[in-house]
Amino acid sequence: MLVSSRVSISLLETERQQLHGLQLRASAFNFPPCLSIAKKPSGNVTYFGICHDIVSWIAEHFHMQLIFVSTDNTDIVQHGIIPALVNQIVKGEVDIIPYAFAPSTSLLLQLDFTITLRVEDYNLLQQWPKEESRLTAYIRPFSLMVWILFLISTGAMILCMAILTYYHQQWSENWKWKRFTDNIDLHANYVITVITGQGLWCLTMVALVNAYTSTLMSYLTVPKLKPIVNTLADLAANLDTQVTVDFESDPSMIFLDASVGPNVVIGDFLRNNPQFLVKGSLEGLKNVLHEGATYFANRAVVYYFMAMDLKSHGKCRLTSSDSIPYIRTYSFGLPKNSQHNAIINHDLEYLLESGLLPFWLKRYTPNVDKCLVGKTKPQRRKIPFTLLDLSSAFLFLGIGAGLSFFTFLLEVMTKFKRKQQNKIRRVLVAQPLLL
């Protein structure tokens, strides 16, 4: 047993030494965050990205010379990036493709794959949601049903008081007849006067006494954002939302071939709007920023674009949904039946066990948590109130003052009308006496 183990280790070491000093030709293309190309002022180009870090580790681990071979851009434009990369390795131009392939049966006929390097969920990349209007901030704590029940109870109270007064007048010995509608008018004026008068006073006291308490400050100053699209069902139900997908990815086929569920709605949209079937993640990002679309992509791509946009603009313009229940595994491409595939896959286990992959990925997606809606805590620092923060208070105050003034006008008009009626009645009574 011990001898067998030593022989195995010796064979692995022999295979590693066979790679020492050899060139490792890798495909070069622009597909962030996997691999990106940057030009220096001198005219030379450099490469960076999570796939670049992995292939650099492979070259360093086996003491190989890493050389990047550019992929034909014309081939990428005409056929897509995956066929162009596969064509490169089939022709023997490269030894490894540092691209996040999702292995499939058709691809396995043309190339081999490394072990699974990453397992990723899919998310929905979308614009940062707009704030809801603060004019309704003071009535938002109560639902529509609560306000409806309040109005119903107020009307019921007026009606009950009018009925009791009406019958009380009939049962009283010295009652003066009034119409039932007069009683309703009388008690409606009374209730409105009490509600608007005392309500206005209470609102004023709340604004003055509690304006600087922590509860009211957090309620008024923390903006309430409109809900984002969190599931594919939400995406299909929202008629204003547009979806964009990489046409070479598996999700595009899932949407286009769907026969049931929300995927059918999304597939119909993509068929009717083929411009949202993009040829790369950068085009998907453009659709999000300029068309207001929602980009369905794996989490690494979504978080990378959020981090880069935050870094360049200093504020969150993009956000992500929760994880969508769609998971894919990703691997690099290797030449079909190459003698070195086994040792490369064997030693890639060391990379996975080292924890370097999550560390590298974190470097390209810093501070994304602050751009996840609902995942960040409100700021604890004290912020002075602005007119926008108190807009709902002033609106509510104005409504109360307006109702009070309107009730006052009704009372004045009613009093004037009664005064005129009494004057006419006195004139009518005095005329027979004069005759």
The pLDDT value recorded for residue 238 is: 80
- Buried-state track 335-351, b at ≥16 Cβ within 10 A, e below 16: beeeebbebbbebbeeb
The pLDDT value recorded for residue 65 is: 95
The pLDDT value recorded for residue 34 is: 92
Give yes or no for a contact between 237 and 262, defined as CB atoms under 8 angstroms apart.
yes
Q: 3-state SS of the chain?
A: CHHHHHHHHHHHHHHHHHHCCCEEEEEECCECCCEEEEECCCCCEEEECHHHHHHHHHHHHCCCEEEEEECCHHHHHHHCHHHHHHHHHHCCCCCEEEEEECCCHHHHCCCEECCCCEEEEEEEEEECCCECCHHHCCCCCCCHHHHHHHHHHHHHHHHHHHHHHHHHHHHCCCCCCCCHHHHHHHHHHHHHHHHHHHHHHHHHHHHHHCCCCHHHHHHHHCCCECCCCCCHHHHHHCCCCEEEEECCCHHHHHHHCCCCCHHHHHHHHHHHCHHHEECCHHHHHHHHHHHCEEEEEEHHHHHHHHHHHHHHHCCCCEEECCCEEEEEEEEEEECCCCCCHHHHHHHHHHHHHHCHHHHHHHHHCCCHHHHCCCCCCCCCCCCCCCCCCCHHHHHHHHHHHHHHHHHHHHHHHHHHHHHHHHHHHHHHHHHHHHC
The pLDDT value recorded for residue 53 is: 96
C-alpha closest to that of 357 among 114, 161, 140: 114
Rounded distance between C-alpha atoms, residue 240 and residue 246, angstroms: 20
The pLDDT value recorded for residue 7 is: 47
Rounded distance between C-alpha atoms, residue 165 and residue 183, angstroms: 7
Give yes or no for a contact between 248 and 81, defined as CB atoms under 8 angstroms apart.
yes
Q: How does pLDDT run along the chain (435 residues), one tens digit per residue?
A: 434 444 466 778 888 889 999 999 999 999 888 999 888 887 788 999 999 999 999 999 999 999 999 999 899 888 889 999 999 999 999 999 999 999 988 899 999 999 999 999 999 999 999 877 666 655 665 567 766 776 787 777 667 666 656 555 555 545 454 555 665 665 565 555 555 545 554 555 455 445 435 445 555 556 677 889 999 998 888 867 789 999 888 888 889 988 888 899 999 999 999 999 998 888 999 999 999 999 999 999 999 999 999 999 999 999 999 999 888 999 999 999 999 999 999 999 999 999 999 999 999 999 899 999 877 655 544 556 566 666 666 776 777 778 778 877 887 888 888 888 777 777 776 666 555
The pLDDT value recorded for residue 23 is: 94
Q: Which residues contact 270 (CB under 8 A, 6 or more apart)?
A: 243, 245, 252, 255, 256, 276, 277
The pLDDT value recorded for residue 134 is: 65
Give yes or no for a contact between 127 and 286, defined as CB atoms under 8 angstroms apart.
no
Q: Token pair 């939302």 is at which residue?
A: 241
Q: What is the CA radius of gyration of the chain?
A: 37
CA-to-CA dists, residue 206 to 194, 197, 211, 345, angstroms: 17, 14, 7, 69
